[in-house]
Amino acid sequence: MQIREGLALVEADLKDISASLAGLAREHRDTPVIGRSNLQQATPITFGYKMASILAGIERHRERLEQLKPRVLVGEFGGASGTLSSLEKGAMQTQAGLMKELGLGQPLISWHTVRDNFAEVGAFLELVGGSLGKIAMDVKLMMQTEVAEVFEPFAPGRGSSSTMPQKRNPISCLYIHANISVVRQLAASLMDAMVADHERSTGPWEIEWVALPEIFCLMSGALKQTKFILGGLEVDAVQMRRNIDLTHGLVMSEAVMMGLGPFIGREYAHDLVYDICREALAAKRPLVDLLVAHPEISKHVTREQLASFCDPMNNLGQAGVMVDRVLASLRD
């Protein structure tokens, strides 16, 4: 019954988080931002796409929560060994009446030492924590001074250092990270609690008494901090574009290679663009200038065509379509 009440709070928080992510995905459907692979700049995406990707995961958690309720919210009333042997008449009817009064499902069979239901709750909350951690991780990285693309909501004095007043630390992200790390360890302990002996165990289920309340409390804090971040996230679209342009077009090398492929062959285009990228990097010159100057390229395509290849807005793939698909799939 406490799990039922706790899951209702989690459900409400997930709905709020989903709504905030949906708002960000919708608003920034076409806002370009650099994609990152191994912490290095990759191909451009949109910030809406980034938010919609996380949103899809949150929606899967909401679906999981609905699916686990019938399995988890089931009562237990079975007596010493679970067989209701102490009730001479109407045993199953008595059990059914009790469960109805408590608002719980009637079990098919006693489950006193078959504790997968509690372990599933812990595993579910651990999964939710992983998604919250993903949000916190990306916000932390995007808040770095050298990146400065998004920020946690501002409040006077919040996030400043005791010795460095200029700092704006990712406070909520740190709390989320710490909470979900502990939840992960506690959820694992619930798997240990499943290893129970016979029909009334010698102790493993007491692990749940320690772990489950802590998991719910820690996840409540992580959910609250995530709602705070997403509800007032500051997005700097101008800085996002600046960061795309940091390499003077090098992040568009894939698009250039694919654009040249029909003229000179994909493999040759790959090797040629690779060499030109190295040259552009060393000379700190715009990629398009070196492409235009290369005779193997200029005889096939114009500067305008090359500039089109190097334009991030022309190379966002199906980001917008995918955002729309996620938004169209949202549950109430």
The CATH number assigned to the domain holding 40 equals 1.20.200.10
**Same domain for 69 and 33?**
yes
The mean pLDDT value for 39-55 works out to 97
Query: Does some domain include residue 256?
Result: yes
Do the beta carbons of residue 331 and residue 11 sit within 8 Å?
no
**Same domain for 239 and 255?**
no
**Same domain for 263 and 188?**
no
**Same domain for 150 and 269?**
no
Query: Does some domain include residue 199?
Result: yes
Query: Does some domain include residue 218?
Result: yes
Those residues whose C-beta lies under 8 Å from the C-beta of residue 90, and which sit 6 or more positions away, are none
The mean pLDDT value for 61-76 works out to 97
**Same domain for 234 and 277?**
no
Residue 160 has pLDDT above 90, yes or no: no
**Same domain for 139 and 274?**
no
What length is written for the chain? 332
- Any catalytic annotation for residue 60? no
Residue 231 has pLDDT above 80, yes or no: yes
Q: Give the tokens for residue 14.
A: 């997930």
**Same domain for 140 and 260?**
no
CA distance 325 to 295: 43
Nearest in space to 131 (alpha carbons), one of 176, 70, 168, 164: 176
Within 10 angstroms of residue 250's Cβ, the number of other Cβ atoms is 18
Q: In the chain, where does DSSP find H-type helix?
A: 2-27, 47-72, 91-102, 116-142, 171-193, 206-231, 237-244, 253-264, 266-283, 287-293, 295-298, 303-309, 319-328
Structural domain ending residue among the three candidates 223, 243, 263: 243
The mean pLDDT value for 201-224 works out to 95
The CATH number assigned to the domain holding 295 equals 1.10.40.30
pTM recorded for the entire structure:
0.92
CA distance 14 to 29: 22
Do the beta carbons of residue 23 and residue 51 sit within 8 Å?
no
Per-residue pLDDT tens over the stretch 321-331:
999 999 999 98
- Any catalytic annotation for residue 172? no
Query: Does some domain include residue 262?
Result: yes
Those residues whose C-beta lies under 8 Å from the C-beta of residue 178, and which sit 6 or more positions away, are none
Q: What is the mean pLDDT of the chain?
A: 94
Q: What is the DSSP letter of 83?
A: S
**pLDDT at position 157:** 64
**pLDDT at position 167:** 74
Those residues whose C-beta lies under 8 Å from the C-beta of residue 19, and which sit 6 or more positions away, are none
Structural domains counted in the chain: 2
The mean pLDDT value for 184-188 works out to 96
Q: 29-33, 52-56, 300-304 — which is least confidently predicted?
A: 300-304
Residue 229 has pLDDT above 60, yes or no: yes
**List 81, 85, 161, 329, catalytic entry:** 161
**pLDDT at position 179:** 98
CA distance 208 to 166: 45
**pLDDT at position 27:** 98
**Same domain for 66 and 116?**
yes
Per-residue pLDDT tens over the stretch 251-284:
999 999 999 999 999 999 999 999 999 999 999 9
**List 4, 60, 158, 200, catalytic entry:** 200
Query: Does some domain include residue 89?
Result: no
Query: Does some domain include residue 104?
Result: no
**pLDDT at position 127:** 98
**Same domain for 225 and 268?**
no
Residue 237 has pLDDT above 60, yes or no: yes
Q: What is the DSSP letter of 201?
A: -
Angle of helix 253-264 relative to helix 266-283, nearest 10 degrees?
140
Q: What is the DSSP string of 123-157?
A: HHHHHHHHHHHHHHHHHHHHTSTTT-SEEPPP-TT
**50-72: buried (b, 16+ CB within 10 Å) or exposed (e) per residue?**
bbbbbbbebbebbebbeebbeeb
**pLDDT at position 60:** 98
Residue 159 has pLDDT above 60, yes or no: no
CA distance 315 to 313: 5
Query: Does some domain include residue 298?
Result: yes
**Same domain for 166 and 278?**
no
Nearest in space to 230 (alpha carbons), one of 139, 148, 143, 131: 139
- Which residue's entry shows tokens 């899951």? 7
In degrees and rounded to multiples of 5, residue 23 shows phi and psi of -60, -45
Nearest in space to 132 (alpha carbons), one of 39, 61, 203, 34: 61
**Same domain for 183 and 265?**
no
Query: Does some domain include residue 187?
Result: yes
**Same domain for 239 and 254?**
no
Domain hosting residue 39, numbered range = 2-74+111-243
